[in-house]
Amino acid sequence: MASSFLVADSGPLIALAIADLLPTAAAQYQPLLVPETVLRECLASVHEAGTWQIQSALDRGDIQSVRTEAKNSTEDLTQSQAIGAGEASVIHYAKAHKLTALIDDKRAISIAKRLDVAVVRSGAILVDLKRRGAIASIKPVLDAWQAHGYFLADSVRTALLAQAKEV
């Protein structure tokens, strides 16, 4: 995966925050771009996992808030495709600026691909960070995600560990 800007959805953003990887990811992929809609979702409750890490990353410039220009297009995606406003804003912004969307939601990934938007998942980011030498191992990150209730199918976990040469 080449260095490029990533437009992050709330799930992957929270997952990276839980593992304290926002600064590491930002160092590899420029600042992470986050639509305002997604930031509102992530920062809505100070008691949710990852909230203070996301706010700190925003304050440091590791993540950058971006405005989705075409509100009607985002609303159309939300209503017609049954995805959330956050996913819709990520897809719209990534498409408009020819960037890669960082999304884990299957329906949103399918829609993004149909719209010719490049997509990457959180697990692929972990493997890439390890290949770049930015993290030593993905297993502790996967364990942290699991401990915080971030669902990852056993087959996906096994595949990621194999890609990272940790099995």
Q: What is the pLDDT along the chain (167 residues), one digit of tens a residue?
A: 544 789 999 999 999 999 999 999 999 998 999 999 999 999 998 788 899 999 999 999 999 999 876 554 555 555 556 788 889 899 989 999 999 999 999 999 999 999 999 999 999 999 999 999 999 999 999 999 999 988 889 999 999 999 999 98
Rounded to whole angstroms, the Cα distance separating 114 from 100 reads: 14
- pTM comes to 0.90
Domains, the chain, ordered by start: 6-136 (3.40.50.1010)
Sign for the pseudo-dihedral over CA of 77, 78, 79, 83: positive
